[in-house]
Structure 1
Amino acid sequence: MNRIDQFFQQRNEPVLNIYFTAGFPQPDSTRTILSGLQKAGADLIEIGIPFSDPVADGPTIQQSNKKALENGMTLRLLMEQLKGFREEVQVPVVLMGYLNPIVQYGIEQFCQDCEAVGIDGLILPDLPMYEYQIFYKEFFQKHGLHNIFLISPQTSEARIREIDANSQGFIYMVSSASVTGAKQGISQEQLGYFERIQQMKLKNPKLIGFGISDRESFQQASRYAEGAIIGSAFIKLLEKLEQPEQDIKNFVESIKQPATQSAK
């Protein structure tokens, strides 16, 4: 069974998915961050594949992509760095990126290498569903990779139902018609969207991303979905790491701890 499915079957509290960009802040940071997140108690880990034009991402993640590329990070180097990471990391791990680098890599080879190193799923925002079904699905399924689609407040109910029918693992629920990045609070408009999706009773778990940055927004989002995704706020932490393992532990605990504990 895919680790993502296994995890969601066993979960009993809100799910914290942490995103970071491969090759940032240093070319060899990937394994250190993965290990730190595992030890800190992150539930899922999302590794960003650096790309020159990350259209869904705000300035913080865009800058991390730029720095990672300057550091010499490539998809092939990432695959090399990931070899053996399953010896120390058991939580589900997904790769998030854009289609161009994967096409250049070779889709079948990419899926084969993902399986070999232990990747569980893929988030490819610019992969059209039609192309996925016709050209990619057989390779994803052959190598045990879940394809995770995104929905937004503008996605129609018919489209959401179609995505739910064709998704595996979970649905990435984009919180607003915007790019990634920490924002001040969750608006009433967003809450209305969250409630609308909650009432649809989708078969897949949902994780809310874009604008989730602290314990308050994480807990608020988790009332309407199985959990949430934090990216930009974690990237900002990585920019100023002093003691990687402890700093990452403190960050994850600050998100997951109940208010009474974090106030101590």
Structure 2
Amino acid sequence: MKKLNIYFTAGVPNLNDTGKIAKLIQDSGADMMEIGIPYSDPVADGSVIQDAHTLALKNGMSIKKLFDQLLEVKESVTIPKILMGYFNPVLQFGFENFCQKCAEVGVSGLIIPDLPPIEFETKYGKILKKYNLNFTFLVTPETSEERIKYLDSLSSGFLYAVSSSSTTGKENVVLKNEDYLNRLASLNLKNPVFIGFGIKNKADFENVTEKAQGGIIGTAFVKILLENEDWETKGKVFIEGIK
């Protein structure tokens, strides 16, 4: 069974919706979730998720607030919860302090796209291990096989394979990059491979997970949160429709 991972930005549409959204994702049949930590300069993200970051910050979302919200749903939301964010706010919070809080509130792993692998190896990896947190690196179609293997060796939980070299949510993303997906499948990686960026529906999900173990949907779900007053019904129907 292929795994479905749903991303949302914490703090949208309203500041205190985090727990409600996390429950919705779980109850609609997703296997795990990524929760985005809002940041003022989300460079890897397309306009939809950038708008979500802007709104979340305007709503007053902070790392501390997010930890409080996650603690409230620690017992009721039991599928894996992964925090995704940029390195700067995590560093400002204090890296070890951040990891300790993650462990306390039931977070199982982190994705910090701009944390350099060498820094992870020499400094931060052991802190993550201390708090039993997985860490996921990203690879793209341009990443060499040698580097894919290296990043896979550092990662735990899963390896995040970006479907194309663009920002999130691009309309013209080449989802079925046969060579790339075949290459990933042939490398005998230690982690399951999850494909992300550009998956909008069931057909996309089935397409990219033919040779991968899972898919990550972000922009299409965040769009529902931002654009629909009745996002709870629409979000549920959307996730159930993928699975």
For the superposition of Structure 1 and Structure 2, which TM-score range results when normalised by the shorter chain?
A: over 0.9
Counterpart secondary structure, 2:74: helix
Shift of 1:29: 1.1
- Alignment of 1:92 with 2:80, yes or no, is yes
Residues in 1 aligned to 2:139 and 2:172: alpha-carbon distance in whole angstroms:
21
Per-residue CA deviations over 1:1-50 (Å, capped at 9, x if unaligned) read: xxxxxxxxxxxx11110000000111111111001111111111000000
* Matching residue's letter, 1:224: K
Letter of the 1:169 partner, please give it: G
Runs of 4+ deviating beyond 4 Å: none
Deviations 1:92-141 (A, max 9, x none): 11000000000000011100000000000000000001101112111100
2:206 alignment partner in structure 1: 219
Answer yes or no: is the 8 Å Cα contact 1:210–1:229 preserved in 2.
Answer: yes
* Identity, % of aligned positions: 47
| Alignment gaps of 5+ in structure 1 | 1-12, 257-264
Larger deviation: 246-255 or 92-101? 246-255
Distance 1:245 1:23 in 2: 15
Q: 1:185 to 1:138 in 2, by over 3 A?
A: closer
Amino acid at match of 1:106: G
Q: Is the 8 A contact 2:163 2:173 kept in 1?
A: no
2:18 pairs with 1:27: no
Give the corresponding residue for 2:92. Answer: 104
Quote the Cα distance in structure 1 between the aligned partners of 2:141 and 2:62: 33
Q: 1:182 Cα deviation (Å)? A: 4.8
| CA deviation after TM superposition for structure 1 residue 246, in Å | 2.8
Alignment map for 1:87-166 (pairs within 5 Å): 87-166=75-154
Whether the 8 Å CA contact 1:16–1:42 is kept in 2: the answer is yes
State the match for 1:62 in structure 2: 50
**For residue 154 of structure 1, what is the amino acid of its counterpart?**
E
Q: Which residue of 2 aligns with 1:5?
A: none
Q: Please say if 1:169 is aligned against 2:147.
A: no
Alignment root-mean-square deviation, CA: 1.3
Counterpart CA distance in 2 for 1:67 and 1:150 is 26
Q: 2:30 aligns with which of 35, 42, 52?
A: 42
SS at match of 1:220: helix
The 10-residue stretch of structure 1 (95-104 or 179-188) with the greater mean CA deviation from structure 2:
179-188
Counterpart in the other structure of 2:65: 77
- Residue equivalent to 2:40: 52
- Asked if structure 2 preserves the Cα contact closer than 8 Å seen for 1:96 and 1:123, the reply is yes
- Any gaps of 5 or more consecutive residues in structure 2? none
Q: How many residues align?
A: 243
Task: Please list, as runs of the form range in 1=range in 2, the aligned pairs for 1:227-246 lying within 5 A after superposition.
Answer: 227-246=214-233
Distance 1:185 1:99 in 2: 26
Q: Is the 8 A contact 2:196 2:216 kept in 1?
A: yes
Contact 1:186 1:217 in 2 (8 A): no
Residues 134 and 187 (structure 1 numbering): CA distance in 2 closer, same or farther, change over 3 Å?
closer
Q: Using a 3 Å threshold, how does the CA distance of structure 1 residues 192 and 112 change in structure 2: closer, same or farther?
A: same
Structure 1 Cα separation of the partners of residues 122 and 169 of structure 2: 33
Verify the 8 A CA contact 2:175 2:204 in the aligned structure 1. no
Query: Aligned residue for 2:241?
Result: 254
